Structure 1
Amino acid sequence: MSDSGNWCLIESDPGVFTGLIKGIGVSGIQVEEIYSIDKETLEDLKPVHGLIFLFKWQGHDPAAQSSNQAPIVYDESIFFAQQVIQNACATQAILSILMNSPAIDIGEELTNFKAFVSDFPAELKGHAISNSDVIRTVHNSFARSDPFVNDMHDPDAKEKEDLFHFIAYTPINGNLYELDGLQEGPRNHGPCPGESWLEKVGPIIQERMAQYAGGEIRFNLMAVVDDRTKVYKERLATYQAQLETLQKAEGPEAGSWLKGEIEHLEQGIKKEAEKTLKQQRENKLRKHNFVPLIYELLKGLAQQGELQGLVEEGRTRAKAELESAKQRKAAAVAAGKDVDMEDA
Structure 2
Amino acid sequence: MSSPESETQRKAIPLESNPQSFNGLASQFGLDVDSVCFHDVLGFDDELLALVPQPILACVLLYPVDKETMYRKQKVEGSVDRTALVHFRQRVMNQCGTMALLHSLANTPNLPFRDGPIKTLFEECKGLPMDEAAEKLDIVDISAAHTAAALSGQSETPPDDVHPDGGFSAFVSQNGQLVELDGWNDAPLLHGPIQRDLIHSVLEVVKEIAESKQDIRFTVLALAPATQ
* Fold match by TM threshold 0.5: yes
Output the CA distance in 1 between the equivalents of 2:16 and 2:80.
30
Higher strand share: 2
> Partner residue of 1:42?
49
Shift of 1:140: 1.1
- The equivalent position to 1:13 in structure 2, one of 18, 37, 40, is 18
TM-score normalized by structure 2?
0.81
Query: In terms of Rg, which structure is larger?
Result: 1
- Unpaired runs of 5+ in structure 1? 232-344
Output the CA distance in 1 between the equivalents of 2:168 and 2:59.
10
Residues 115-154 of structure 1: pairs in structure 2 closer than 5 A: 115-118=123-126, 120-133=128-141, 135-144=142-151, 151=158, 154=160
2:226 is aligned with what amino acid?
D
Whether the 8 Å CA contact 1:170–1:176 is kept in 2: the answer is yes
SS of structure 1 residue aligned to 2:61? strand
Structure number with greater CO (CA < 8 Å, separation at least 6) is 2
- Could you report, residue by residue, the CA deviation over 1:130-181 in whole angstroms, capped at 9, with x for unpaired residues? 4423x22211112439xxx985x72xx4xx5442211011212221111111
> Partner residue of 2:223?
224
Output the CA distance in 2 between the equivalents of 1:74 and 1:192.
16
Shift of 1:93: 0.5
Report the number of matched residues. Answer: 214
Output the CA distance in 2 between the equivalents of 1:12 and 1:212.
20
Identity score, percent? 22
- Could you report, residue by residue, the CA deviation over 1:260-294 in whole angstroms, capped at 9, with x for unpaired residues? xxxxxxxxxxxxxxxxxxxxxxxxxxxxxxxxxxx
SS of structure 2 residue aligned to 1:115? helix
> Partner residue of 2:204?
203
> Partner residue of 1:3?
9
SS of structure 2 residue aligned to 1:223? strand
2:95 is aligned with what amino acid?
A
Whether the 8 Å CA contact 1:54–1:220 is kept in 2: the answer is yes
Output the CA distance in 1 between the equivalents of 2:56 and 2:68.
29
- For the aligned residue pairs, the C-alpha RMSD in angstroms reads 2.7
Whether the 8 Å CA contact 2:64–2:166 is kept in 1: the answer is yes
| Larger CA deviation: 93-102 vs 39-48 | 39-48
SS of structure 2 residue aligned to 1:168? strand
TM-score normalized by structure 1?
0.56
- The equivalent position to 1:26 in structure 2, one of 31, 55, 77, is 31
Shift of 1:44: 4.1
> Partner residue of 1:254?
none
Q: 1:102 to 1:144 in 2, by over 3 A?
A: closer
Output the CA distance in 1 between the equivalents of 2:114 and 2:97.
19
Output the CA distance in 2 between the equivalents of 1:90 and 1:54.
8
Whether the 8 Å CA contact 2:179–2:188 is kept in 1: the answer is yes
> Partner residue of 2:94?
87
SS of structure 1 residue aligned to 2:84? coil
Output the CA distance in 1 between the equivalents of 2:68 and 2:143.
26
